[in-house]
A and B are shown apart, each in its own frame.
Chain A
Amino acid sequence: MTRPATELLYDSEASLRLVDSALRELHVHGSAIETATSALTNQMGNLSALSRTLFAAYAETAALLHRIRESRGVLERTSVVRLQQMNDKLREVSSATEVAATDILNGLDRAVGMVGELEAAESAGAERRAEIRSQLQDELYGVMVHLQFQDITAQQLTYASSVIHEMEQRLSELVECFAPFALELDPAAAHAAVPTSAPTTFDPAATTSNAAERQAVADEIFRKTA
């Protein structure tokens, strides 16, 4: 079906009027659109800079994580065993101290008993008194011999101290990883905890245990090689 020409002309005119109205409106808001477009362009520039910053931060974070993983690996590999050994040493110090204290107290108890015997033996012969005095001297000497635990536990504690010192150094290296990110650590405070004169002479395997067995091994070696 075809429309009459007058009707088509009427519709075309109406459409042109609408376009004209739209153009007028666009002209009125043109400056605002221009401003918005300009702001959007600026924002796009900022977004680009932000993207670059985020990428750089990502690279630094990845490097940091890599170093932390490396440090963690070193700590795991070298430290766990030593910390376990240190724990064993500290337990042994506690045990050796208790054993020595008990032995010393037992010795002193016996010595006190002998002093009583000595007093009671006033009327006894000189020979008996001399015998008790000799026993008393042996007992007191035995107390002194028990004090050897001090030298051995001192070495065990020095070993434990050396392990702690080593852990401090490793943790300090780990903390250094964060230095570029300005954690504001006070270097003087960080190093204050590290002993400057860590003992250097000790036997890491020093022990109060199995003295007779260890002596037998030494005797055997000397018999064969000396």
Chain B
Amino acid sequence: MKFLVVDDSVTMRRIIVNSLQRIGYDSVVEAADGQEALGKFDGSVEFIITDWNMPNMSGIDFARAVRKLPAGAKIPILMVTTRSVREDIVTAVEAGVNNYVLKPFTPQVLKEKIDQVLSAVSAAAA
């Protein structure tokens, strides 16, 4: 499974990529903001992990943009962010985000959320 990890923090990208590798996902593409991520989003990407606060294009705008694309209508999107205000989380749901992980996360939570999203997506497809 190919992941697209979008975060303006190099540290966070490294932590997420390393976490994915430990879970067993080695195929990862990285982007520093939503705009760059849109450029790297092609038919091969199967799972998106994105931050919210980023320059040029935020994670929430990126999620909305992806959902408008034919290839992005059903792709799993997991948001990993510091934004824990209730209204923000509801906004993420409305933007089409499948699940939400708050920073700082534990490796267990990240794995759990990825598994949940994949289960929900495959259940919906079945």
Once the chains bind, are A145 and B106 in contact (CB under 8 Å)?
yes
With A152-B104, A226-B93 known to touch, is A201 a contact of B82 (CB < 8 Å)?
no
Q: Is A80 an interface residue (CB 8 A)?
A: no
Task: Using CB atoms, name the residue of chain A closest to B11.
Answer: A150
Q: How many residues of A contact B (CB 8 A)?
A: 29
Chain A CB within 8 A of B3 CB = no
Interface residues of B, count at CB 8 A: 35
Q: What residues on B are CB-neighbors of A221 within 8 Å?
A: 86, 89-90, 93, 100
Contacts of A154 in B (CB 8 A): 9
B82 interface neighbour in A141, A207, A225, Cβ under 8 Å: A207
Considering the complex, which residues of chain B in the window 84-121 have a beta carbon less than 8 Å from any beta carbon of chain A? Answer: 84-86, 89-90, 93, 98-107, 109
Q: Which of A39-47, A63-71, A186-194, A210-218 contacts B (4 or more CB under 8 A)?
A: A210-218
Binding site for B on A (CB under 8 A): 141, 144-145, 147-152, 154-155, 200-203, 205-208, 211, 214-215, 217-219, 221-222, 225-226
What are 30 sample pairs from A and B whose C-beta atoms fall under 8 A apart? A141-B18, A141-B22, A144-B15, A144-B18, A145-B19, A148-B103, A148-B105, A150-B11, A152-B103, A152-B104, A154-B9, A201-B58, A205-B84, A205-B85, A207-B82, A211-B103, A211-B106, A215-B101, A215-B102, A215-B109, A217-B84, A217-B86, A218-B100, A218-B101, A221-B89, A221-B100, A222-B89, A222-B93, A222-B100, A225-B90
